């Protein structure tokens, strides 16, 4: 692995002592407790976990240095010593990031670092959905005054929804590290419901 400069000193997941050819060193990183890294083949485990940390650790400088996700992936692969000519299978696996186990692990890592943001994101999405149901509910009021009041109420709900939508985008950006592709993949694996808060 390339030598890390001082900008990586505050990583949430402490990977500085991981040994590339010794997957057991992962067990010594307390931050990986409750992360399902055992799903990764032993021969790929250290490089894969390093890559995930460089990509999705909340303190990884790559998030701010590389706004374009593909460029960020390539730098993370370089830092994790995943070389295409030496290990084309792992390189493509991490670049494409379509393996459900990898997606699950990434989701767990994001959740572990951002419990409060995750909870706020879920709660705001649930609130938005509840508001939407009210707005879409047909009006069946014959009295003009009550009908007008109902319309005004829907208008206020719509205004509130705009603010909620802005908050959702802010929380999504923080939680998913501005990686829209990762968001889609995680949502296909993990249902964002109140129950999911305790599931992963």
Return the higher-pLDDT residue of 79 and 6: 79
- Judged by average pLDDT, the poorest of 11-25, 73-87, 109-123 is 109-123
| Helix/strand/coil percent split, the chain, to 5 | 70, 0, 30
Angle at 14 between CA 11 and CA 19, to 5 degrees: 130
Phi and psi of 106, rounded to 5°? -60, -40
pTM: 0.78
In this structure, what token pair is assigned to residue 83?
Answer: 């070389």
Across 38-53, average pLDDT: 97
Task: State pLDDT tens for residues 86-134.
Answer: 999 999 999 999 999 999 999 999 989 987 888 788 789 889 988 998 8
In angstroms, rounded to a whole number, what is the distance separating the alpha carbons of residues 122 and 171?
A: 9
Residue 169 and residue 179 in contact, taking contact as beta carbons nearer than 8 Å:
no
């Amino acid at each position: 692995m390339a030598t890390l400069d001082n900008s990586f000193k505050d990583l949430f997941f402490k990977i500085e002592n991981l040994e590339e050819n010794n997957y057991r060193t992962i067990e010594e990183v307390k931050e990986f407790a409750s992360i399902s890294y055992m799903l990764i083949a032993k021969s790929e485990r250290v490089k894969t976990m390093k890559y995930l940390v460089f990509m999705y650790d909340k303190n990884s400088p790559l998030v701010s240095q590389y706004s374009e996700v593909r460029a960020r992936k390539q730098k993370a692969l370089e830092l994790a010593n995943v070389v295409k000519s030496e290990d084309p299978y792992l390189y493509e696996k991490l670049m494409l990031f379509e393996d459900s186990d990898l997606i699950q692990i990434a989701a767990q890592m994001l959740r572990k670092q951002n419990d409060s943001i995750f909870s706020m994101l879920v709660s705001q999405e649930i609130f938005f959905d509840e508001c939407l149901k009210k707005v879409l509910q047909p009006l069946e009021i014959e009295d003009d005054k009550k009908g007008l009041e109902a319309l005004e109420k829907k208008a206020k709900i719509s205004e509130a929804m705009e603010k909620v939508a802005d908050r959702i985008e802010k929380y999504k950006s923080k939680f998913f590290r501005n990686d829209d592709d990762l968001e889609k993949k995680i949502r296909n694996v993990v249902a964002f419901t109140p129950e999911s808060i305790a599931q992963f």
